[in-house]
Amino acid sequence: MSKKLAAVIIGVVVSLVGLSWKWVQAAESKPKFTTEDYIEIYNLYGIYTRYFDMGGDDGTLYASTFTTDGEFGQNGRRVGRDPQKAAFISSDTMLKREGRSRRHTTTNIIIEPSPEGARGSAYLLIFNITATPPFVEGGGIYDDWIVKTSEGWKFKKRAYYTFPTFKPGMPQGMDFLFPTIKKY
């Protein structure tokens, strides 16, 4: 074998080893979760809906699912825990005034590690449980930015998008909830 061919082969081998090493380092540098992280984030999704639907307080528990500067809305229209509390109080007051109750149910939760902590997404179904029979009155999808704080995993930002084609299937007598829906 000529010296030139040997040098080329050695060069190719060294290049491949170098590229492989960079690939291994890149794979190791990607954020990773522990099993405990996944469980805690799933619990965050669960307590968020429970605290909003049945908080039993002035909204403090619901607001505690966000970071102190946490945002809710497509454009961050509610920033911080006090606005989150105010939203809870407003919703709770409206429901009591109307004599109805609802339950938020998140499904199809997806969580992925991110450099900041986690990105999550979930479908939302909102059930009117006062109606007979209960029915789904709304729905959408959450797009979440989640971070680990000294208080545990919290929502840093939560965007909510409604399903534009959603038409609730309402029991007879409940159409007053959606006066703009035309019956065909």
Total domains in the fold of the chain: 1
**Inter-residue contact 97 to 116 (CB < 8 Å):** no
Give this prediction's pTM.
0.74
pLDDT > 60? residue 34:
yes
**Does residue 79 belong to any structural domain of this protein?**
yes
In-domain check, residue 17: no
Look at residue 11 and tell me if it is in a domain.
no
How high is the pLDDT of residue 163? 73
Task: Please answer whether residues 161 and 140 qualify as being in contact, where contact means their C-beta atoms are separated by less than 8 angstroms.
Answer: yes
* Residue 90: partners with Cβ closer than 8 Å, 6 or more residues away: none
Counting residues of the chain whose pLDDT is more than 90, the rounded percentage is 45
Of 164, 123, 114, the C-alpha closest to 142 is 123
pLDDT in tens, 150-173: 999 999 999 998 877 766 665 555
134-143, pLDDT tens digit by residue? 888 888 999 9
77 Cβ contact list (under 8 Å, min separation 6): 71
Confidence of residue 2 (pLDDT cuts 50, 70, 90): confident
158 domain residue, yes or no = yes
CA–CA separation, 62 and 46 (whole Å)? 11
Q: What is the pLDDT of residues 39-58, one digit of tens each?
A: 999 999 999 999 999 877 89
Q: How many CB atoms lie within 10 A of CB 97?
A: 8
CA distances from 66 to 109, 117, 180 (A): 18, 14, 33
> What is the extent of the structural domain holding 147?
31-163
Would 181 be classed as within a structural domain?
no
For residue 179, tell me if it sits in a domain. Answer: no
> According to the model, what pLDDT value does residue 182 have?
46
- pLDDT of 21 higher than 60: no
pLDDT score recorded for residue 6: 64
102-119 confidence digits (pLDDT tens): 999 999 999 999 999 999
What was the pLDDT predicted at 23?
54
Domain contains 26? no
**CATH code of the domain covering residue 66:** 3.10.450.50
